[in-house]
Every structure is written in structure tokens, then in C-alpha cells.
Amino acid sequence: MASHRRSSPAGPQGPARLTLISAAAAATAAALTAVPATADPGTGTGRTASHAKLTARVDALYARAERATERYNGAKERSTELRDQVTVLQDRAARAQERVNRLHDRLGAMAAAQYRSGGVDPSLALMLSARPADYLDKAQTLNRLGTAQAGRLNRLVDAERMLQQQRRAAAGRLARLEEARRAVARHKEAVERKLDAARQLLASLPARDRAAYTRASRGARDGALPELTELSGLAGRSGLAVAAARSAVGAPYVWGASGPRSFDCSGLMQWAYARAGVSLPRTSQAQRHAGRQVPLSQARPGDLVIYRSDASHVGMYVGNGQVVHAPHPGAQVRYDPVGMMPVTGVTRV
């Protein structure tokens, strides 16, 4: 009887015990898996992690939109330059055409005078043909031109050659202008697409998180200005540019804008230095090479601080470890620490 009551691992109680252990393990795993979704509302652990991830994605989309904005700025500047070049070349072509017309008129007057006096010199008739350059070669071989007539014909040939060169140059610039216009439209579409994605993502945040993000985008404004002791006694064009940039604090970031009421990052730098009588290029990439490169440790107020490996963002150093910049769409011109993102260069204008 004693041996009958002894339990055996292979007896009826073994499987039951294994079942209980398996159920407990499954319950524990389920509980562990469910922790993030059932975090204590009071601590806000799950909400905070989700908020941080979403706002990081919003920031990333804004950074991509800013890169597209700088490409748009560059294409637009190129388009403006080409348009000016086309205008100049078309003016030159028009003047060349006028000169050709005047020379033809003079030769025509000579032919009319000869006709009235009894006939037209065959050489003059050939000079008035559609291809005077071909005749010039033949005439020089035949020695049929007088000195005065040869001079007139040479001037006509030179004028027509110049006219063709101006027309070809204008046509080439027009083709490049059309390419630049397409690039402007393409980059504009890219900016707007990325901004729409960022706005939709921002709208998906809870109201208080969205409000917190908006407050953070305002940055330091009047009444919360950083101490800038390095500006004491600052003069010259750097002083004027710094004063202009600081006066823009609180203005909205608008992509493609260069003042006076709204700015993008490079537009703010261009506008601020224009107030000091200095012309800067339009894009942050070009502004990087608009002066002498200095180490960040030697930065002075008025220096341009270039950010990111592709130089797609720029701010102005204003002393005491601070920059003024237009951060991203949806934000306002503000003060931030100079090391807010990786610095790739400092340019002294």
C-alpha cells in the first residue's frame, strides 16, 4: 500500500503540474508583453516614448524639407541668373541684327544708284545675295572687288557672323533656363510634399503634446533673451549684420523667404548682411564659401555657422555660445546653442 501511494513523475500528477507551469509562464510572458501598452497613466511612460518618437519623425521631415528648400533656392537663383543672361544676349542679338540691316541698306542704296546710272556691278549684286561670305571667297580669288566695296562686304560678313553667334548663345541659355525652371518646380513639389507629411504627423499628436512642440519651436524671444556679453562694442559690418539678425527674432520661418517679415535659414543670413551692405549668395552651401574659414573655437559675432554634412543649414554666431537662426518650417527665428547640431564649418564674411 505504501508503494501504491508513492507518487511517480510518470503518474497522473506529472502532466497536471507541467500544465500549471506552462500556464504560469504564458501568463507571465503575456504580462511582460503588455507592459508598454498598459503603462501607468500617471507616469506617462508609454505616452512620453511615443511622443518622443513622433516629434523626432516630425523634426526629421522638417530637416528634409529644409534640404529641399535649399535646393529650391539654388535652382531659383540659377533661373534668375540665366534669365538675366538671356535678356543680355537677346539685346546683343537685336543690335547685331540692326547692324546687319544697316549694312544691307547701304549696299542696297549703292545698287540703286548704279542702276540709275546704267546698270548694277555684278560684284555688288552678289554682295547683296543671301550668302555674301561665299561670294567673298570667290571675289578675293577673282580680284573683282575694289577697296571700298571689299571693306563694306567684310563688315557685313563680320556682322552676320556675330549675329549668328549671339543667336546660338541666346538659344543655349534659353534651353538652360527651361531646365532650371523645371528644377525649381521639382524642388518646390518636394518641399511641399515633405511639409504636408510633417504637418499630418504633427496633427496626429495629442493636443498638449502638439502645444508643447509649438512652444519649443518659438525658442527664446523678447523677455527671454540669452546674455550676450560678447556683443559689447561690436561695430562695422558684423555689428550691423548681427543687429539685423537679432531684430528678426520671432519672425516666422517660411521656406524660400529672405525677409523682411519671414525667412528661411539662408534667407535670414542674406538679408541680415544686406543690411550691412554685403551681398551674400542665396544658399547655405554657397554661403559656406562666402568668406574665410575659421575654427569654431575662434568664432566671433557675425560669423556664419554651417550645419550638417551637406551644409543644408546656417545660423549666425552672436556670442556666448549662441546663434540666431531660422530653424525649420513651423518655427520662428530664435536663439539656440551653437552646438545644437553638428557644425561643419564657420565662415567669417
Mean pLDDT, rounded, for 242-266: 95
Lowest mean pLDDT among 132-136, 138-142, 184-188: 138-142
Mean pLDDT, rounded, for 4-14: 40
Catalytic position from the list 51, 187, 265, 328: 265
Active site residue 265: yes
Active site residue 325: yes
Whether 151 has a pLDDT exceeding 90, the answer reads no
Whether 23 has a pLDDT exceeding 50, the answer reads no
Residue 259: count of CB within 10 angstroms of its CB: 17
Distance CA 128, CA 279 (A): 51
Cα-Cα-Cα-Cα dihedral of 205, 210, 216, 219, to 10°? 130
Confidence class for position 233, pLDDT limits 50, 70, 90: confident
User: Which SS3 state, helix, strand or coil, does residue 70 take?
Assistant: helix
Distance CA 6, CA 137 (A): 128
DSSP assignment string, 253-271: B-TT-BSSS-B-HHHHHHH
- Kindly list the distances between the CA atom of residue 169 and the CA atoms of 81, 92, 95, 166, in Å, as whole numbers in the listed order: 15, 10, 14, 5
Query: What is the per-residue pLDDT across 36-87, written as a single tens digit (0 to 9) for each?
Result: 333 444 445 556 667 678 888 888 889 899 999 999 999 999 888 888 888 8
Using CB atoms within 10 Å of the CB of residue 280, give its burial: 0 to 12 exposed, 13 to 18 middle, 19+ buried.
buried
Distance CA 166, CA 160 (A): 10
Distance CA 31, CA 236 (A): 67
265-274 helix and 45-116 helix, angle to the nearest 10 degrees:
60
Distance CA 205, CA 186 (A): 30
pLDDT, the chain, mean:
78
Q: Which amino acid is at 14?
A: G
In angstroms and rounded to an integer, the radius of gyration of the C-alpha atoms of the chain is 38
With 0.85 as the threshold, say if the pTM is over it: no
Lowest mean pLDDT among 54-63, 103-112, 138-147, 276-285: 138-147
The three cell numbers locating residue 150 = 571689299
Active site residue 313: yes
Query: What is the per-residue pLDDT across 281-337, written as a single tens digit (0 to 9) for each?
Result: 999 999 999 999 999 999 999 999 999 999 999 999 999 999 999 998 878 999 999
Catalytic position from the list 51, 187, 325, 328: 325
